[in-house]
């Protein structure tokens, strides 16, 4: 199935929908100690048209948070570093930070936003060859 291109899975919101609102930001620290924050496009902050163009980022970020996809974290870090690549002040460290808040059903069925929490889930120290 995999080689033929017929692989498939139909598990959107199944067996249970996510119970957290989560997003990711990349933090790039350059040699001079400056901190740059790169925000992955968040659907709720985009215009209707932009959402159509940037929806892939929603899916990507959803997958990126998953521990089982940790193999791609170094690539993502290198890509982020390239966005701030200045030969006179190159990036040295990239961190991937996950922000999340739980969705907690209230007894009366209403919704109360929960406090947001954050965690650095990956830190990458760049090597000189990473930016070539």
Partner 1 sequence: MSWRVLSKAWNEFFFAPQSPVPIALFRILYGLAIIANLILLHSDWLNWFGAHAWVTLPTMTKVEPGTRINLFKLMPPADSWVEALFWVFLAFAVLLTIGLLTRVSSVAVFLCLASIQQRSLFITHGGDTFLRVAGFFLMFAPAGAALSIDRLIRVRTGRESGEIQPRSPWAQRMIQIELSLLYFVSFWWKSMGAPWVNGTALYYVSHLEEFRRFPLPGWLQQPIFLKLGTWFTLALEFSLGVLIWIKEFRYPLLALGLLFHLGIEYAMNVPMFQWDVLPAYVLFIDPADLKRAGSWIRKRTAVLSTGVTRMSRASSH
Q: In the complex, which residues of this chain contact partner 1 (CB under 8 A)? A: 2-6, 8-19, 21, 23, 42-44, 48, 51-56, 58-60, 63-64, 69, 71-72, 74-76, 78-79, 82, 103, 105, 108-109, 111
Residue 65 burial by CB count (10 A; 0-12/13-18/19+): exposed, middle or buried? middle
Residue with Cβ nearer partner 1 (2 or 33): 2
Task: Report the distance separating Cα 92 and Cα 34, nearest Å.
Answer: 10
Q: What are phi and psi of 45, to 5 degrees?
A: -105, 5
| CB of 81 vs partner 1, minimal distance in Å | 10
Residue with Cβ nearer partner 1 (48 or 119): 48
Residue with Cβ nearer partner 1 (29 or 80): 80
All residues at 6 or more sequence positions from 55 whose CB lies less than 8 Å from its CB, including other chains: 43
């Amino acid at each position: 199935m995999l080689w033929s291109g017929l692989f498939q899975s139909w598990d959107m919101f199944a067996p249970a929908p996510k119970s957290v609102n989560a997003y990711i930001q990349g933090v790039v620290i350059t040699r001079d100690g400056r901190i740059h924050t790169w925000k992955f496009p968040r659907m709720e902050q985009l215009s209707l048209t932009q959402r159509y163009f940037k929806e892939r980022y929603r899916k990507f970020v959803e997958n990126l948070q998953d521990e089982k996809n940790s193999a791609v974290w170094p690539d993502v870090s290198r890509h982020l570093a390239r966005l701030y690549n200045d030969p006179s002040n190159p990036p040295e460290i990239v961190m991937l930070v996950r922000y999340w808040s739980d969705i907690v059903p209230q007894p009366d069925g209403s919704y109360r936003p929960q406090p947001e929490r954050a965690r650095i889930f990956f830190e990458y120290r760049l090597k000189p060859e990473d930016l070539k």
